[in-house]
Amino acid sequence: TAERSLVLVKPDGVARGLVGQVVARLEAKGLRLVAAELRTLTVEVAEEHYGEHRERPFFGSLVEFITSGPLLALVVEGPRAIEAFRALAGATDPVKAAPGTIRGDFALEVQNNIVHGSDSPESAAREIALFFPGLG
Ligand code: CMP
């Protein structure tokens, strides 16, 4: 009954040296690493990844941010991995995210919110295929 989720440590998290703390938290929770790669996204991949936000006023800024430097793309696996990681991440708006969560502990701004986690099994399948097309 293992489920997989795509997790990103976004360019702000990498630049601030938070990769280790994010990975430590998800490993401590019991999520297993299935794939990991540090890479800088092209605008094309970024627009595809965030396609559901294309009509939002912040879309251009979001694409600029997410392509601004290297990010760490991870696939994690475990029971209810999608919900489990979203609980670790906390609310999208870091000011509303509970202390003890990744965003609650490390971020202040909604765009620069350190991590991304897939929000449904359908998004996870789409995002994992986009980032790691070779993954079985
Ligand atoms: P994420 O969980 O990756 O999903 C979409 C991203 O868009 C979100 O995290 C934020 O980085 C960003 N985002 C969401 N809402 C806003 C907003 N109101 N203004 C700017 N960026 C946002």
Domain ranges within the chain, ordered by starting residue: 2-39+72-131
Going by C-alpha positions, the residue among 31, 36, 6, 43 that lies closest to residue 122 is 6
105-126: per-residue pLDDT in tens?
999 999 999 999 999 999 999 9
Alpha helix (H) ranges present in the chain? 11-15, 19-29, 43-49, 59-66, 81-89, 102-106, 121-131
What is the distance in A from the centroid of ligand 1 to the CA of 132?
A: 22
What is the rounded distance in angstroms from the CA atom of residue 103 to the CA atom of residue 91?
Answer: 7
**Class (C level, CATH) for 2-39+72-131:** alpha beta
Task: Return the ∠ at Cα 68 (arms to 31 and 24), rounded to 5°.
Answer: 20
pLDDT band of residue 136 (cuts 50, 70, 90) is confident
Cβ of 123 less than 6 Å from ligand 1: no
32-46: per-residue pLDDT in tens?
999 999 999 999 999
What is the distance in A from the centroid of ligand 1 to the CA of 64?
A: 12
pLDDT band of residue 100 (cuts 50, 70, 90) is very high
Cβ of 60 less than 6 Å from ligand 1: no
Cβ of 116 less than 6 Å from ligand 1: yes
ipTM value for the complex:
0.94
Whether the predicted model's global pTM rises above the 0.95 cut: yes
Q: Give the number of residues written for the chain.
A: 136
Q: What is the pLDDT of residue 104?
A: 98
